[in-house]
Structure formats: structure tokens, C-alpha cells
Structure 1
Amino acid sequence: MTKLQYQLILDELKTTLSNVKDEDVENFEQAVKDAKHIFVAGKGRSGFVADGFTMRLNQLEQPAFIIGGITTPSIHEGDLFIVISGSGSTEYLRLLAEKAKGEGAKVALITTQPDSKIGELADTVIELPAGTKYDAEGSEQPLGSLFEQSAQLFLDAVVLDFMQDFNIDETAMQKNHANLE
């Protein structure tokens, strides 16, 4: 039975990720490349995805920070705030997006709901057509699992693109990996 569940998950991921628009990916990647500093946030399991992507950006020698860290600097014009939110309407994240916009930063949203409150604020949106904890129709998996998995895989694919774009190989990334663990 477990093999059937693996296949269900893989099929859902393939369907979701195959519907991401190339133009949106290009816009997202360009926004990251153009940013002076990158700030990333998500709540719950989306927050784990945000943490992982922020770590990879730093390993790619990009100045990236997770929101809420005690050493996270101020956001300013020329910076990018990336929000990972399945619903696109998490109140805490919306407030942060408004603050970032007010400081002149760009906002990018990874979501299932591009027309959400945060989507309305965002300069760049990646739509992952997956179920959320509020929408049982989008997936056989519980709550927002498909969104969180899709966001992780999408951002891992972006990292592969950036490795080429920034001419950084895995050996260099390993040297940039935290060594005080």
C-alpha cells in the first residue's frame, strides 16, 4: 500500500510543478538576482521551506536572511522579501509584506492563491496549484502537504538554476555550509 501512496504523491507533485509558468519563474529568479538583500518568511511547515531556501541562498553567496532572527538587518529599497504562504493570506506574513513594501522593497509570493491579500501586494507571484489546509479539493494529501512539498522542490530547482547562473558548484557551496554545527 505504501508504494501506492508514494506514487500518488509523485503524481500530484508532477501535476502541480508542471503547471508553474515559465515567465513567472524567470521573473522570480530575476527578482532574486536583482536584490541587494533577500529576506524570506513562512509560517508552520512553509517556514521550514523558507529556512531551507535561505540557507541555500547563503551557500550560493547571496545575502539572505530569515525573518525573525536576532541578527536580521533592516529591509530597504532594492531588497526582496520572499513570502511562502499556501493561502497567501496569513495575517502575520501580510503585515510583514506591507512593511517591506512601505520600505521600498519588492515582494515575491509563492502560493496557491495569487489573488490573495499578499498576492495583491506582491511584485512577483509563483502559483503552485496545490491544495492548502483550507482547500481539501486540491490534493489527496492532508492539509497543505502538497503545497509545502511543491514549494520545496520548486525552490530546489531554482537553486540548480542559480548554481549555473552564479557559476558556483557544489564544492563551493559545501565551503559555505555552516561549520559551527
Structure 2
Amino acid sequence: MIAEEILNDLERILSKTDEKAFERFLDRLQPGKRIFIAGAGRSGYVGKCFAMRLMHLGYEAFVVGETNTPSIRPDDLLLAISSSGTTDSVVNAAKKALSHGAETLALTADTSSPLAQKSDFVIYIPSNDPKEDGSSPLPLGSKFELSALLFLEAAVSELMKHYGITEEEMKSRHSNL
């Protein structure tokens, strides 16, 4: 079944993601820290999913480009998501965040990209392996986006466990309009 092939693909990618980088990522998500998320296209949707989960956890989380996003300041954190690491809007957000003294994290499949070079910390999602023969059933950037979503959902689960946040508590913050 194709779903099994897709799950195997994602498992292979995530098994290559650095566990220590995951732990360092979690360390940066301190309660009380404002977290901004930048991404374009489908990576942007992944970022919005993560911002929503952070809000459910009780964090102040903002999506870059939304009308209610405040200015970034020192001590804030920007998570910039881009498979290629070359998306202009995302790279520019990272540059701007750094110029305002905020810490910038890149979630990318290219550690030599402009985004990675403009970030304080890089989380590598190894989804663009040039040695692969194109046999993946996932089209275009889906391997990165789905891997990034699972990586970030795993972070939410770890934060829940670490801070003792229950699903009931998260549900109390869920939209009711």
C-alpha cells in the first residue's frame, strides 16, 4: 500500500535527524519566550500548525506576515522554515530578526543555504538526498514538509511531557469561535 511506502520514507528521514539538535531545539523553546514563525507555501502551513500548538501549550506564538504579529525584539525567537533555505521572504525574515537582536532558528533541508548561514541554529531535515533515485511516492517538497510537521509535533509532545501540560489544559486554549 502506498501509505506504508510514505510512512517508511518519513521514518527513514526522521531517523537521520540529529537527536541532539532536537534536544537543543527544545531547550530554546522556553516558557515566556515569544516565538515567531516564518515560512512560505506549504512550509508556511506547517509553521502555522506549530504556532497553533505552541498557543495551545500557553506560549505567545506569532506567524510572520499575519496582521496581528507584533514587532520582534531581543530575547524573541524566530523559527524560519524552508526546505531550500533560499525562499526570499523567509531568508529576509531571518535577516530582519537578527538585526533586531532575536535568535533565529532554521528548519531546512540545506545546511549550506542562505537561510542556514543567516541563522543562529540549524535543524537539518535530510529530505533532499541527491543519491535517491526518485522512487519516493511523495511529490515535490512533501517529504520535507511532512517530516518537518512530524518533527515539530514531536517537539510539542516533548514540551507537554516536560512541563506537565495536559490535553485538557491545551483544549482550554483551543479556539471556540
Please report the TM-score for the alignment, with normalisation by the length of structure 1: 0.91
Deviations 1:101-160 (A, max 9, x none): 00000011111111110101111211111139x998566221101100000111010000
Are the structure 2 counterparts of residues 116 and 138 from structure 1 closer, same or farther at C-alpha, using a change threshold of 3 Å? farther
Q: Which residue of 2 aligns with 1:64?
A: 61
Q: Which amino acid aligns with 2:54?
A: L
Q: Which residue of 2 aligns with 1:19?
A: 16
Q: Which of 7, 11, 14 is matched with 1:10 structurally?
A: 7
Q: Which moved more, 1:36-45 or 1:97-106?
A: 36-45
CA distance in 1, matches of 2:51, 2:135: 27
After TM superposition, the runs of 4+ consecutive aligned structure 1 residues lying more than 4 A away are 134-139
Note the C-alpha offset of 1:36.
2.2
Q: Which moved more, 1:134-143 or 1:91-100?
A: 134-143
Note the C-alpha offset of 1:71.
1.2
Q: Which residue of 2 aligns with 1:88?
A: 85
Identical columns (%):
39
Q: Which residue of 2 aligns with 1:43?
A: 40
Q: Which amino acid aligns with 1:63?
A: E
Are the structure 2 counterparts of residues 144 and 171 from structure 1 closer, same or farther at C-alpha, using a change threshold of 3 Å? same
Q: Which amino acid aligns with 1:12?
A: D
8 A contact 2:26–2:155 mirrored in 1 = yes
1:163 and 2:165 matched: no
CA distance in 1, matches of 2:150, 2:75: 27
Q: Which amino acid aligns with 1:25?
A: F
Q: Which residue of 1 aligns with 2:52?
A: 55
8 A contact 2:14–2:151 mirrored in 1 = yes
Q: Which amino acid aligns with 1:129?
A: P
Residue segments in structure 2 that go unaligned for 5+ positions in a row: none
Q: When the two structures are aligned, how many residues end up with a matched partner?
A: 176
Q: Which amino acid aligns with 1:107?
A: T
8 A contact 1:113–1:119 mirrored in 2 = yes
Are the structure 2 counterparts of residues 105 and 137 from structure 1 closer, same or farther at C-alpha, using a change threshold of 3 Å? farther
Please report the TM-score for the alignment, with normalisation by the length of structure 2: 0.93
Deviations 1:72-96 (A, max 9, x none): 1110110000011000111111111
Note the C-alpha offset of 1:167.
1.4
Are the structure 2 counterparts of residues 76 and 125 from structure 1 closer, same or farther at C-alpha, using a change threshold of 3 Å? same
CA distance in 2, matches of 1:170, 1:34: 17
8 A contact 1:35–1:80 mirrored in 2 = no
Residue segments in structure 1 that go unaligned for 5+ positions in a row: none
